[in-house]
Structure 1
């Protein structure tokens, strides 16, 4: 085992140097120009049947992935303490064998699947920070015992400056004794998950990089199904199906039978059902718009051609979206392989997570970097769900990332939404897309003036102000929606417009939205261009341009200052406006 300290991840290579090194080295695909297709290449059953039979007869706590429990009352206090520290039942983890067997959760047809006899060897990269010792070494044992040795070039552990004593000399000794192909690389300061993965990838020499988490258990024959599609096309990235290892009982069970990865407009990872065609053969890999991020296989060539991860992304968060967008938009594709299954400990939902010394909001800065480089006009949907947060964040220098996108001739995000994630908007509509109308509201009588909050929404009267250049997604001061609740509000927020009194020349102010109250009822009459207020619909919003004020007054057809134009009107929804009014 070789232990090497990293001061910075670029101490040995910069990303550009690494890309140059990869390009100059003969890859698996160059060494095997013939026979890399399913019709002519030799296929092989990679199952280690004898090892599987030995595992089936194992006896003991947690074997075959069965749930286990702590019956010793004297250990319960320690269990609670260790659970708070790790996010899972670490005491029980210590009681379960690091060699334990797992149930074969694969679809029946996977047991007879054959894959290329000539598969490239992989570099497995596992970052960790203060991982519980038994969970970490169980991860290693499961990988080594359930993977053909000739397919493992190396396993690279990257220690993100852990401070637990057992993860120093004790781990070194353990790895030296049991895992000759494992190397440990250590940071001398905390740098985060993304930097740790990059550091491992920089050191890797295998033709394929496999990124794994440090609290997993692989299932039978997990690796060949990931490699086979990449051999066919090195710009294909493949993820295993992720099973659940229960954080309390360590039961190993199926999460589901497969789903496609997407996101909502808060950038929370979501999963949506498979298409009917994907379910016809449950053993066949299927396309997925977004990877879950922690476990995947990618050719080393392709990873560095894509620039690896954006080195400006800090700690963790957003990297799965950045890489997924790059894969699809720059000429690759992303698959999930049902015949490859890996169990993963999902920590308790109330676990506070690991601490960081970063004082800035690194997570949302990461999100903004991804959005600014890759999401084009769709980034505004993300920003409008951030309640003004993104406006305060500096994304940093994006010159290299934008240059990479141009260099690779990547497609637009609109192409991604229409060809890859084409049902995402239906499953997770952005705020405003279900509204009757939204965007900037311009006055017809004074066309240079737009409805404006005139400051924070703190119950002050609103007015009109010089129209901003951006119309569809202006600043929150001029971004409005006639919402599905039939109110006029700041788009995506809970501040609604309401007249102080139901009489002429009454000012209009912000109130908390009541979601259907008659005091906040507004309608847009497309024919007259009126913004009509109230249930009786006899008052309209009127601008006083000279004073930059707005009031409600009796509706008058010849008054241009009572006429307004929305940037976007959903005519189909607005046609049914009165049918959806609350009774």
Structure 2
């Protein structure tokens, strides 16, 4: 372990000024261009700056066990700014009891300059691994975890600063129960000024059916139950960047899904898996770690950001969400029909671990996520100026035909023939009939036909004042047929035009 004297020697041998002088921000350049945060400001701040203790004052009175297990800290990065990466490492070395950090493993995911990582290997406890090609966060973390020698793994991002006593409360929870996966409260390091700002400790992770992560306030009932502000908060999902997990438990649960690419969506997969397969997720209010939250990604996703996110969340939905995956597809229509690779080994893992169903997860872990059935269909009129979309029975036709007719509503409720339901899976329906097209050509007629689950020709999206046919990307339009005296308007799909009045619709939903 070495005495403090050796540490000082190692710091002296590490030439910090020389390390930081490479690829510094130069006057006249955009300081945000490379990293999507203010590089100039990051370089102005010392690597060992002090940060305010943001914990609740009761945290300072807690006592932790003497026999806490040491941890391997795993930090993966790709072209991180040297100033932020070094500050992350220094904060860990400065604010963590020496005997609890077994090692700091840096996994350099094929950054442009191998020295970003290599030179840091001179620092105490730091080891550097470099990927021979771009692997992404998920496979890089697995690689770091596989070589880690400590019994507990701590995953951090490469633009963090840990706060006072951050590690003790996390290790304590895992020592008491190794199936817990624990996260600090994530404070905010401002991307413009690098000011360290306290986050609320009354938040937990949540998400919607499109698998979009969001922070949620605890409900008044949950707050009322929390008599002690230092108490852990159970969370349905972790943000994914920063957490601590027992290494044997991480391996037993199947590590990460290594077929996921780059970044994004992996936190859903690991969160569902932990809860459904016998563990739990917690946020620990007495552990605080600052993180630079950015508005966009500075690096390139080889497959494109949205495609990568869809592939990763789609794998999660297919393996873990059972029949509830239909709500994911309803909320993310672009995911339908998209490739997501082979999931057989993950399906077998789930069987082997005898995990709970997603229904169990919804009932026991996240009852606040409502099933869209009762939420997401709206009923009302579809209007263009003074006319409304209407269905008419016709002798010659098997199903009613569509036309635009003057709107009839008595006391604000639409006449039945003008009443439409827009459902969570993007159908526009009247009883068992749905707006549909037979062909995907411009000018194709829009007809009513029996609703079929998953029929792409029946799916419509509301985009501004347009009603867009999802499969063809054309817009609902009207065309006048017949001569001017006897003209009727027929419904068709046509290429979308922002200025076409005939493509402007209001869905007046009650």
- What is the TM-score with the length of structure 1 in the denominator? 0.66
Task: Give me the whole-angstrom Cα distance separating, in 2, the residues matched to 1:259 and 1:402.
Answer: 32
Rounded Cα–Cα distance in structure 1 between residues aligned with 2:158 and 2:25? 25
Distance 2:506 2:52 in 1: 58
Q: 2:252 is matched with which residue?
A: 305
What secondary structure, in the 3-state scheme, does the structure 2 residue paired with 1:323 have? helix
1:364 to partner: Cα distance: 1.5
RMSD of aligned Cα (Å): 3.7
Q: Is the alpha carbon distance of 1:274 and 1:498 closer, same or farther for their aligned partners in structure 2, counting shifts above 3 Å?
A: farther
Shift, 1:506, TM fit:
6.1
Structure-2 residue corresponding to 1:162: 111
Whether 1:213 and 2:157 are equivalent positions in the alignment is yes
1:244 corresponds in structure 2 to: 188
Measure the CA separation in 1 of the matches of 2:28 and 2:308: 32
**Equivalent of 1:477 in 447, 450, 457:** 457
CA separation in 2, counterparts of 1:219 and 1:456? 58
Query: 2:445 matched to which residue of 1?
Result: 461
Residue aligned with 2:128, SS: strand
Residues 503 and 193 from structure 1, CA distance in 2 versus in 1: closer, same or farther, beyond 3 angstroms?
farther
Q: What does 1:140-151 correspond to in 2, within 5 Å?
A: 140-151=89-100
Judged with a 3 Å threshold, the aligned counterparts in structure 2 of structure 1 residues 194 and 165 are, in CA distance, closer, same or farther, namely closer
Matched, 1:289 2:236: yes
Q: Equivalent residues in 2 for 1:487-502 (5 A)?
A: none
Could you tell me which of 43, 51, 56 is aligned with 1:94? Answer: 43
Equivalent positions of 1:373-392 (< 5 A) are: 373-387=319-333, 389-392=334-337
Extract unaligned runs of 5+ from structure 1.
Answer: 2-74, 524-576
Q: 1:402 aligns with which of 347, 365, 385?
A: 347
Tell me, in whole angstroms, the C-alpha distance in 2 between the residues paired with 1:234 and 1:83: 41
> How is 1:506-545 mapped onto 2 (pairs within 5 angstroms)?
507-510=490-493
Does structure 2 conserve the Cα–Cα contact (< 8 Å) formed by 1:265 and 1:430?
Answer: no
In the aligned structure 2, how far is the partner of 1:89 from the partner of 1:442? 50
**Displacement after TM superposition at 1:268 (Å):** 2.4
In structure 1, how many angstroms separate the alpha carbons of the residues matched to 2:375 and 2:203?
27
Q: Cα distance, 1:479 vs. partner?
A: 4.4
Go from structure 1 to structure 2 and tell me whether the alpha carbon gap of 1:480 and 1:167 turns closer, same or farther (over 3 Å shift): closer
Q: Deviations over 1:347-396 (max 9, x none)?
A: 3x2x5521244479333111211111111222222223334x22341111
Instruction: Please report how far the alpha carbon of residue 115 of structure 1 lies from its aligned counterpart in structure 2 after TM superposition.
Output: 2.1
The 5-angstrom pairing of residues 249-288 of structure 1 reads 249-276=193-220, 277-278=222-223, 279-288=226-235
Alpha-carbon shift at residue 94 of structure 1 (Å): 2.2
Q: 2: distance between equivalents of 1:457 and 1:256? A: 52
Indicate the residue corresponding to 2:262 in structure 1: 315
* Equivalent of 1:435 in 378, 387, 399: 378
Please say if residues 182 and 284 of structure 2, whose CA atoms lie closer than 8 Å, have aligned partners that are also in contact: yes
The answer to whether residue 154 in structure 2 is matched with residue 199 in structure 1 is no
1:423 is paired with a residue whose SS is coil
Shift of 1:458: 4.8
With 214-223 and 76-85 compared, the bigger mean Cα shift is at: 76-85
Q: Distance in 2 between matches of 1:510 and 1:475?
A: 17
1:133 to 1:461, Cα distance in 2 relative to 1, 3 A: same
Q: Secondary structure at the match of 1:265?
A: coil
Q: Secondary structure at the match of 2:370?
A: helix
CA drift at 1:509: 3.3
**Counterpart secondary structure, 1:86:** coil
Aligned residue pairs total: 431
Change (3 A) 1:76 1:159: closer
1:401-457, CA deviations, whole angstroms, 9 ceiling, x for partnerless residues? 11111111212222222221211338xx6997242443678999xx9x965322448
Alignment of structure 1 residues 40-55 onto 2, 5 Å: none
Give a deviation string over 1:235-294, Cα, whole Å, max 9, x none: 111100011111121111112233111123333211111133345322111111111110
TM-score, normalised via structure 2 length: 0.75
Taking a change above 3 Å as real, the CA distance of residues 418 and 509 of structure 1, as seen in their structure-2 partners, is farther
